[in-house]
Amino acid sequence: MSREGVIKFRAEHRRSRLEPRRYGEAFCALTAWREILALTGLVGQEPSRYGGYGFGNVSLRVGPPSRPRGQRSFLITGTQTSGVHKPTLDNFCVVDRYDIGQNRVESFGSALPSSESLTHAAVYDLGVHIRCVLHAHSPVVWRAAEALRLPRTSAQVEYGTPEMAREVRRLFETTALAEIGLFAMGGHEDGIVAFGRSPEDAGRVLIACLAKAYGTCCQP
């Protein structure tokens, strides 16, 4: 398994503070679910997990639904901010453009984009109706992926790479991913990704899957 938190794409980042008037509402909606994921251990930073690196990240579309692929801008947590308590807009950035084939991400904000930004971008490219992506780490869901019949990316594909982005497209075209709204990352220890039309939709999918995973472990 690869180390957490390492940016593997070419980042073209412009340092600038995000305007609360423009991004405040999206920030609040996203941060509310980030807090829920932190309370359930799905996002965070712990010395005993993943070498002490932060894990998990969240994003929300902030551009018009009609934007073409590669230009579906989204607000996302900055790299290695998962352990930050009470985050502010300074812990986020906006990914404005991206090119999966060229392994490039263009962004702006006080923080550098999450190392999983290309994976989030690949999910948004699946359809204009997808407005939120939640990337969590759950050993119980990850280990139960087969029993739960979750779509799963190849174990040979690492996170944050063009190959992972292409794996997301493959799952969308060959599995029931569109209906399930969640997949496991085979080559990214404990990694799972949920998505939906809103943070509430993606969050419900994720928490429901977590409950099902615990149910598979509960044998009378």
Q: Which two tokens stand for residue 187?
A: 């080559």
Residue 1 has pLDDT above 80, yes or no: no
Per-chain mean pLDDT for the chain: 92
Of 53, 26, 63, the C-alpha closest to 114 is 53
Average pLDDT, integer, range 138-160: 94
Question: What's the DSSP call for residue 108?
Answer: E
Q: How confident is the model at residue 2 (pLDDT cuts 50, 70, 90)?
A: very low
Query: Of 74, 108, 63, 104, which is closest to residue 90 (Cα–Cα)?
Result: 108
**How far is the C-alpha of 99 from the C-alpha of 71, rounded, in Å?**
9
pLDDT at 3: 46
- Note the pLDDT of residue 83: 85
- Burial grade of 74 (CB within 10 A; 0-12, 13-18, 19 or more): buried
- Residue 103: Cβ-neighbour burial (10 angstroms; 0-12, 13-18, 19+): middle
Residues 108 and 96 sit within 8 Å (Cβ to Cβ): yes
Residues 6+ apart with CB under 8 A from 31: 87
Q: What is the C-alpha separation between 69 and 191, in angstroms, rounded?
A: 24
- How many residues in the chain? 220
- Where do the structural domains in the chain lie, given as residue ranges? 10-217
216 confidence band (pLDDT: 50, 70, 90): confident
Query: CA 91, CA 112: separation in Å to the nearest integer?
Result: 9
pLDDT of residue 220: 55
Instruction: Pick the range with the lowest mean pLDDT from 48-52, 127-131, 155-159.
Output: 48-52
Topology of 10-217 in CATH? L-fuculose-1-phosphate Aldolase (3.40.225)
